[in-house]
Amino acid sequence: MCTAFTFSNGDFYFGRNMDISDSFGEQVVITPRNVPVRTKRCAVLQEHYAIIGMANVTQHTPLYAEAANEKGLCIASLNFPGHLSYQTADQKEAPTQKRMLAPYELISYLLSVCATVEEVRRLVPDICVIALPFCEHLPVVSLHWIVADQTSCIVLEPENGALHIYDNPLGVLTNNPPFPFHQENVRQYLRVSAQSPKNEIVPQLPLTPFGQGIGAVGLPGDFSPASRFVKTVFCKWNSMCEQEEPASVSHVFHVLDAVSMVRGCVMTEDGKPDITTYSCCINATKGIYYYKTYENNQITAVPLTAHLQDTAVSTYPLLTTQQIRYEQ
């Protein structure tokens, strides 16, 4: 389970919580312009936009969970259980004129060749998502994707191998149910407000709120995808911060903290705690990847711009030990 959202405050930011019960070998990974991007069914991309994000690197291949490219385009894949609707990996049964991409290849491919959401829109009809595992130990996973830049945001959801495009003016995505449900579900919370409520139950009496925040009574607080979606929408669209880098980065993490998972509060079917293993904030305008982990709340920054022309993939293992400043 995961949460992602967009935020514009002069620069464009993209935030994401990774909610999972086990580490997937994640580390911050930079794919420079001239390092080939390989897929199993498409031609090798020898030159492309540089990419930074969180990934597992297996057999020298970055498998990105979320990332941004040097042009400011951002994509995150989120778990989409119960909707494994990819085309068969048997090429004979798939449209031969399509670009055949496995789910784990979609982020790298789109960020390599597209600079904007509009370019993604134009390319998506030519893509067929196929049920092709990376290797024996990494099976096919059901995913959907949020794609965003400074001006627009969309959601991609697989339907029988094709990718359905949904406009996403809310700039938020969580997990199952499908995105149209989340858009409709928000309408149940139209009366939720950041403002103090007026006395409408007995207007004849001088009744006043007994505390701050009562305007948001009814805002869901559980960890389900639908509830996290609504709460993230509320926090994104009602919160504010100063227009400077430290404030904006801190702001993104505060919104993500509002829907993060505490160890033990969500248990998987096999008895493991689902936690927010890491949270990230990407300044897509400047090409900076910020992150913190469950065990380490200190924010760490990794810049993309210094590595655009490198000749090899750069990896940065996560700093997972809590950093505390002690006063003397």
* Residue 327: inside a domain: no
d(CA 211, CA 196): 9
d(CA 202, CA 70): 57
Active site residue 2: yes
Q: Is the peptide bond before 178 cis (omega within 30 degrees of 0)?
A: no
Q: Specify the pTM.
A: 0.94
* Residue 328: inside a domain: no
**Which candidate, 20, 125, 118, places its Cα nearest to that of 66?**
20
* Residue 287: inside a domain: yes
* Residue 214: inside a domain: yes
* Residue 324: inside a domain: no
**Which candidate, 275, 280, 327, places its Cα nearest to that of 300?**
280
* Residue 106: inside a domain: yes
Neighbours of 314 (CB within 10 A): 17
Task: Provide the domain count of the chain.
Answer: 1
* Residue 325: inside a domain: no
pLDDT in tens, the chain (328 residues): 799 999 999 999 999 999 999 889 999 999 999 999 998 888 899 999 999 999 999 989 999 999 999 999 999 999 998 887 888 766 555 556 789 999 999 999 999 999 999 999 999 999 999 988 888 777 888 999 999 999 999 999 998 778 999 999 999 999 999 999 999 999 999 999 999 988 889 999 998 888 899 988 999 999 999 999 999 999 999 999 999 999 999 999 999 999 999 999 999 999 999 999 999 999 999 999 999 999 999 999 999 999 999 999 999 999 999 999 899 8
8-state DSSP, 130: B
Q: How far is C-alpha 2 from the geometric centre of its chain's CA atoms?
A: 7
Neighbours of 41 (CB within 10 A): 16
Which one of 2, 74, 153, 281 is the catalytic residue?
2
* Residue 326: inside a domain: no
Range of the domain at 270: 2-317
- In this structure, what CATH number is given to the domain that contains residue 296? 3.60.60.10
Neighbours of 44 (CB within 10 A): 8
